[in-house]
Structure 1
Amino acid sequence: MTENERGRTLESGALKALAHPLRVRIYDLLSERGPQTASTLAQLIGETSGATSYHLRALAAQDLIREVPDRGTARERWWERPKGRINLPGPADATTPASRAAAQIVTAEFMRLRHQALMDYLNRSESEQAEGWQDAGLVMTTMLDITPEQMAEVSRQLSEVVDAAIERYAGQESLPGARRVTLRADIFDLPTAGRRTSTDKE
């Protein structure tokens, strides 16, 4: 497995640089929409270009984003998020209180944006859906009774499906009819409090 396939686990400095709601939003927009300038990001977020420029430089200092080569001018620089996945350490994996706090902020903001994107999709009217895309999405929830080993196996299978899709459809940004989509795969154990057992009566 290559370093790009394994992804980059964010170290303390990168976590602290990202631990700001506006920077998480900028990072997310660069993932979602591709290269942007401070001005275009300012319009999308509703901030000044001075503010977005400041946050872009902070992200670039930790190699979280980079300037797009051979594009833009000295006055209008284009920025992109490098390809490849990033891994956020859980709060328990961070080595210092400051790192744990940063990990919590970054994770919470990513999850908030992720949930907002899902709700925006679910609440989208039919007239706002592009032709051919109305029935292409899938939001599915089911419940399983499985062991930790079985859950790890399902997680591995889901990861293989996602990795295969990433490899199969890489480089299609300019393909006619293609648009950016978000792919989600969730599996986690539920709290046991109040869980019904096989001895509970119907």
Structure 2
Amino acid sequence: MPEKKPSDAAPLLGESGERILDARALRGLAHPLRIRILKSLRHDGPATASQLAERLGESSGATSYHLRQLATHGFVDDDPERGRGRERWWKAVHTGTTFADDLHTSTDPEVRGAADLFMHEVAGIHTQEVSTWLATARDWPAPWATSGDLSDFTLNLTAAQLHELNEKLHAVVETYRTAGPDTSHGSEAAQVRVHLHSFPRAVPPA
């Protein structure tokens, strides 16, 4: 049996089916337009390169090139149910991504640079999403307008407690993902974005 090349190796997946980024996968994803393309395919559904170009304000040549790069690294794939003739539709392969543990401690400058770019792009996307919600909240019916949340908390925790807190919050979110929307009482469902930011901060000296 021929030995698999790195590009042919099966991607690492988490318990919920999210893609675990190793150093090679991270370098393949760490480009601003690729991150935005993957976000759009995950949140807005399959699309062609031309449709993505229109969504993102880019040229179809650029979206087509970066779609092929994402496909090389296993983030996107053809959507045969929608393809017609020469029209090529793309879909996201996974619902999300997460870092492998060793990426947080890597001393490789290239890996650290890719990780920094990725995290800053994600933070920028989160900021944009919150800004869009604040600008449009009054356009939603009252039950939606009063159900959103923009809270922050300050806790004194150890690193182990912070990890435990994040694990519990993720577990709660997963229960809603697996249960799906409850429309038994005539309520309508909408796509909901949940942001979880938790990190230590240095307290200035008194």
Task: Give the TM-score of the pair, scaled to structure 2.
Answer: 0.80
Answering whether residue 84 of structure 2 is matched by residue 102 of structure 1, we say no
Alignment match, 1:199: none
* Aligned match for 2:38, one of 16, 27, 35: 27
What is the distance in 2 between the residues matched to 1:149 and 1:159?
15
Alpha-carbon displacement from aligned partner over 1:41-81 (angstroms, at most 9, x marks no partner): 11111112121111111101110111112221242211111
- CA deviations on 1:124-162 (whole Å, 9 max, x unpaired) are 251x32564212211111222233333333222212101
Aligned residue pairs: how many? 190
Asked if 1:59 corresponds to 2:70, the answer is yes
Match of 2:127 in 1: 115
The alignment partner of 2:200 has SS state of: coil
- Pair 1:134 & 2:150 matched: no
Q: Is the Cα–Cα contact under 8 Å of residues 33 and 180 in structure 1 kept in the other structure?
A: no
Q: Structure 2: which 5+ runs fail to align?
A: 1-12
**Alpha-carbon distance in 2 for matches of 1:88, 1:150:** 20
RMSD of aligned alpha carbons = 2.6
Is 1:157 matched up with 2:168? yes
Residue 57 of structure 1 aligns to a residue whose secondary structure is helix
Structure 1: gaps spanning 5 or more residues: 197-202
In structure 2, distance between residues paired with 1:92 and 1:181: 28
Identity of aligned residues (%): 32
From 178, 185, 189, the counterpart of 2:196: 185
Q: Distance in 2 between matches of 1:135 and 1:189?
A: 30
1:33 CA drift (Å): 0.6
Query: Aligned partner of 1:10: which letter?
Result: L
Equivalent residue, structure 2, for 1:45: 56
